[in-house]
Structure 1
Amino acid sequence: MKKIAIFGGTFNPVHNGHLHLCNEMQLRFHFDKILLIPTNIPPHKKCMNLASNEERYTMLQLATNGNPLYEISDIEFRLKGKSYTYNTIQALKKDYHDCEFYLLIGSDMLKIFDQWYRYQDILKEVTVIVGAREQSEYQELIKMKKDKFQETDKLQIIDISVLPKSSTEIREAIQNKLDLSNSLSPSVLAYIQSHNLYQ
């Protein structure tokens, strides 16, 4: 049975921290494919200065540069409306048969995971893997898992090396014309500059 990882987000823009998290997870779990899924309308936060669906999709293509491990999915664009992960998983299961799904999330998302739409059903459908963004968070997340979530076998906390970057910080750096060569792939940076994004 194929192992498929789901990694969603606004990717506004996609940065090296996103792909570093995926690569670290891949080293542990050896997925057959990682689906990168840009959100249509994020249900849990208001996004300022959100690039268009097409622009964010294109930046993901540029960042992964034909790497066969990654597939960019527009499924949440096609589902329209607010992007609820439970609905996305149900739609994916119609497209990918006989696959075992894993949902990759960052530590910030685990802190509000019990507020997600049908989060308990998500834990029945997929294994959720959480990557700690900071080393000090690992023990905090382990305690949170124990206190909040009963289906512990479907929720795994991974202590990994991280690149503590956020898209918000990167958008601010773009506005301030700071050097982002260590945060963005050259092709994504060139695309942002040529399309005057986040100015």
Structure 2
Amino acid sequence: MKIGVYGSAFDPITNVHLWTASTIFHRKKLDKMLFLPSSKERRDKSLRSDDEHRIRMIQLAIADDSRFELSTEELDAPIGKQYTYFTMQRLKEQYSNDELFFVMGADILVNIGKGSWVQGEKLVEEHQFIVMARDGIDMLKTISKSPLLRNADDGRFHLVDKGLAMEISSTYIREEFSRGGEPRYLLPESCYQYILNNQLYLDTDS
């Protein structure tokens, strides 16, 4: 099987997360997409809701789509092993007969290319990637300018332009909730109601 591993904070999961996953699934002819919420222990993440809430919102969002599955592999990892390289190593063991692709945005590709990710060089050397376009980022130029990326550019970077520059920031949604707004149609209705019922993001300032 061809499996996409879609890592994000999902704080909260949005309709664009789902649309992106569906687009990638179709374009790259995947058999499964894993939604991989980030660990709160990562130094590059600042999360506003507890793991249990993010897990539940993902479960609600993907409940009706058999192509999508939740993976808590990163959340369950021991301290120090919660970064993407270690997570992908464990997933490779779990899915030893399958082909894995780490799904990320072009902005993440830039960060990896700069060497700012833990074990970023090993991550690039040992895995395949599906990279989604972002406005203002030239993906080919990003690869060619980075020694780390260009020396591994043997077809492992599968570049995808979704064809529609539609982005919904989880930060924007959190801000709307904190100010009494109604970002109802930016995320699944089940998640919207869950946030209201659990009074999430009411005190966030970011």
Q: Distance in 2 between matches of 1:55 and 1:162?
A: 28
Residue 3 of structure 1 aligns to which amino acid in structure 2?
A: K
- Indicate if the aligned counterparts of 1:33 and 1:71 stay in contact, CA closer than 8 A: yes
- Indicate if the aligned counterparts of 2:4 and 2:103 stay in contact, CA closer than 8 A: yes
- The residue aligned with 1:18 is 17
- The residue aligned with 1:28 is 27
What SS does structure 2 have at the residue aligned with 1:91? helix
**Normalising to structure 1: TM-score of the pair?**
0.90
- Indicate if the aligned counterparts of 2:10 and 2:37 stay in contact, CA closer than 8 A: yes
**Normalising to structure 2: TM-score of the pair?**
0.87
Residue 81 of structure 1 aligns to which amino acid in structure 2?
A: I
Structure 1 residue 196, shift from structure 2 partner: 0.2
Structure 1 moving runs of 4+ over 3 Å: none
- The residue aligned with 2:129 is 128
Residues 181 and 66 of structure 1: is their aligned pair in 2 closer, same or farther, counting only changes over 3 Å? Answer: same
Residue 145 of structure 1 aligns to which amino acid in structure 2?
A: I
- Indicate if the aligned counterparts of 1:133 and 1:163 stay in contact, CA closer than 8 A: no
Structure 1 residue 15, shift from structure 2 partner: 0.6
Residues 162 and 182 of structure 1: is their aligned pair in 2 closer, same or farther, counting only changes over 3 Å? Answer: farther
- The residue aligned with 1:158 is 160
- 1:10-30 deviations in whole A, cap 9, x for unaligned? 111011111111111112111
Size of the aligned set, in residue pairs, is 194
Q: Distance in 1 between matches of 2:42 and 2:17?
A: 20
Structure 1 window deviating more from structure 2 (114-123 vs 17-26): it is 114-123
What SS does structure 2 have at the residue aligned with 1:60? helix
- Indicate if the aligned counterparts of 1:14 and 1:167 stay in contact, CA closer than 8 A: yes
RMSD: 1.6
- The residue aligned with 2:201 is 198
- Indicate if the aligned counterparts of 2:9 and 2:45 stay in contact, CA closer than 8 A: no
Structure 1 residue 176, shift from structure 2 partner: 1.9
- Indicate if the aligned counterparts of 1:20 and 1:163 stay in contact, CA closer than 8 A: no
Structure 1 window deviating more from structure 2 (57-66 vs 146-155): it is 146-155
- Indicate if the aligned counterparts of 1:20 and 1:162 stay in contact, CA closer than 8 A: no
**Structure 2, gaps ≥5 residues long:** none
Q: Distance in 1 between matches of 2:169 and 2:134?
A: 10
Query: Percent identity of the aligned residues?
Result: 28
- The residue aligned with 1:53 is 51
Residue 89 of structure 1 aligns to which amino acid in structure 2?
A: M
Structure 1 residue 57, shift from structure 2 partner: 0.4
Structure 1 residue 129, shift from structure 2 partner: 1.4
Structure 1 residue 55, shift from structure 2 partner: 0.7
- The residue aligned with 1:174 is 177
What SS does structure 1 have at the residue aligned with 2:185? coil
Residue 6 of structure 2 aligns to which amino acid in structure 1?
A: F
What SS does structure 2 have at the residue aligned with 1:102? strand
